[in-house]
Amino acid sequence: MQDTDMVQRDDSDEQTPYHIDESWFEENDFSFESFVQSRMCSECQARLGEEVEERYTVLNKKTGRATFDFRKVPYGSSPAAVIRDCCSKKKDYILPDMATLEAVFRVYLAHGNQPMPLDHVREQLGDWCPGGGCQWLILPMASLERLVQNDRFYGIRPHLLPTAA
């Protein structure tokens, strides 16, 4: 995660960083995991539930040294990481006829849900629309911001810094 010292709190500011708020899914009784899994590429969807080995860090309390160990987890149990590392690199990950919020949601996933202001999101969207005529690219910035602020489905919310000490 990158530092966010440019973050401003004013919601009306164009530079407000947004992100996908996983707690929104909990509050609304939606499963973030299955919502994100359904955005995986077909190869990854076919592997869902397959057992894979995941490396994790073990701290030895006696020696204070960290070592690695492996555990078996179902494939896709960290769906956002799978999308960042695989599916978002497929050419049909974002398509011109996708709904605007769907495309915005996918940009955040492709970047590991790093908080980003919407004008950065739009720069990323430019890569998915070489002709430049896609509906989510020609939308005026203010309309894009309004769409995101009225989002009731994707959990895209302003990313607020914890209160500074």
Binding region for Zn ion (CB under 5 A):
41, 44, 86-87
Q: Which one, 3 or 92, has the nearer CB to Zn ion?
A: 92
Helix, strand or coil for residue 145? helix
Least Å from the CB of residue 35 to Zn ion? 16
- Helix/strand/coil for 118: helix
| CB closer to Zn ion out of 45 and 149 | 45
Shortest separation between residue 95's beta carbon and Zn ion, angstroms: 16
Residue that is written with structure tokens 């996983």 in the block: 22
Task: Find the shortest distance in angstroms from Cβ 158 to Zn ion.
Answer: 29
CB of 34 to Zn ion, least distance (A): 16
Q: How far apart are CA 137 and CA 123, in angstroms?
A: 9
Nearest 5°: the CA angle 3, 139, 135 is 110
Residue among 142, 49, 128 nearest 96 (CA): 128
Tell me which amino acid residue 158 is: P
Instruction: For the chain, give the longest Cα–Cα distance.
Output: 61
Cβ-based nearer residue to Zn ion, 41 or 139:
41
Phi and psi, residue 109, nearest 5°: -60, -40
Q: Is 17 in contact with 117 (CB distance < 8 Å)?
A: yes
Instruction: Kindly tell me which of 87 and 118 has the beta carbon lying closer to Zn ion.
Output: 87
* Closer CB to Zn ion, 54 or 151, in the complex: 54
Least CB distance from residue 93 to Zn ion, whole Å? Answer: 9
